[in-house]
Amino acid sequence: MSQTSLIFLVILVAIAAFVVIQVQAAKRRQTLAAWALSHGLEFHSAHDDSLGDRHPHFACLNRGDHRYADNVMEGQIEGHRVCAFDYHYETSNGDDKTRHHLSAVIVTTNLPLKPLVIRHRNFLDQVAAAVGFEGIQFEWTEFNKEFHVTSSDHRWAFDVLPQATMEFLMNSPKFTLEFQLCQVMAYRNALFQPADFDSAIQVVEGILRRLPPSLVKELRGVEE
């Protein structure tokens, strides 16, 4: 094959890849627009490069460069303000750039929440635990094996995670959950399918419904 033919072939492959990506993106927009409509949410397909700035307390929205959200869906679900979206950012290692994609939901409450992260354990957590660096430990060993929980306020973590809530999380789909200010985010480092947005909202709502009444009363007292 001549050099000219090779260049032509490379160009064709690049064009084909671009077309496939655009078709997949259009299909995803249509699917999520339908999901948003079925839930009474507003849908915005345009890139939103300010979402991370509006939520600077969530670290995953302020990583890397060229950050933006798209397929943003906003409105009220079960009495809470919900913002669901896809998110993109880039990281660099020398001349190599990596694009990252995630999906998330942010549920806004009327309670002044404290910082807390609940996520499933990974291999690095196991390595850290072996040398004495562990998250907050609960009385339920199986929960400790499955989840890594961090907060600067250990009492807050125990208050949010009574036995009933730990049992609920053990039987729920996997998400990273982060409490900040009056909001709870559920996300994965991958794009959601529509059913995943439903699951993420249900997990967050399930945790909020299980907050002990005494804790809710205390928080409302702080708020007032």
Decide if 170 is inside a domain.
yes
101 is a domain residue = yes
Neighbours of 147 (CB within 10 A): 22
Q: 42: pLDDT confidence band, cut at 50, 70 and 90?
A: very high
Question: Taking a C-beta distance cutoff of 8 angstroms, is the pair 45, 16 a contact?
Answer: no
In a domain, 28, yes or no: no
Binned at pLDDT 50, 70 and 90, residue 224 comes out as very low
Domain contains 18: no
Average pLDDT of the segment spanning 85-108: 91
Checking phi first, is residue 203 left (phi over 0); if not, alpha (psi -120 to 50) or beta?
alpha
Compute φ and ψ for 103, nearest 5 degrees.
-125, 155
- The number of folded domains in the chain is 1
Residue 22 has pLDDT above 80, yes or no: no
So what's the pLDDT on residue 133?
59
Residue 96: pLDDT band by 50, 70, 90 thresholds?
A: confident
171: in domain = yes
Q: Which domain holds residue 152?
A: 41-223
Q: Is 84 part of a structural domain of the chain?
A: yes
Segment 96-114 shows an average pLDDT of 94
Exposed/middle/buried for residue 188 (C-beta within 10 Å: 0-12, 13-18, 19+): middle
pTM: 0.86
pLDDT band at 216 (very low <50, low <70, confident <90, very high): very high
pLDDT confidence of residue 85: 97
Measured CA to CA, the distance from residue 21 to residue 139 in angstroms comes to 48
Within a domain: 121:
yes
Backbone angles phi, psi at 147, to 5 degrees: -120, 145
Question: Is residue 24 domain-resident?
Answer: no
Query: What is the pLDDT at residue 73?
Result: 97
126 or 169, which is more confident:
169
Q: What is the pLDDT of residues 159-207, one digit of tens each?
A: 999 999 999 999 999 999 999 999 999 999 999 999 999 999 999 999 9
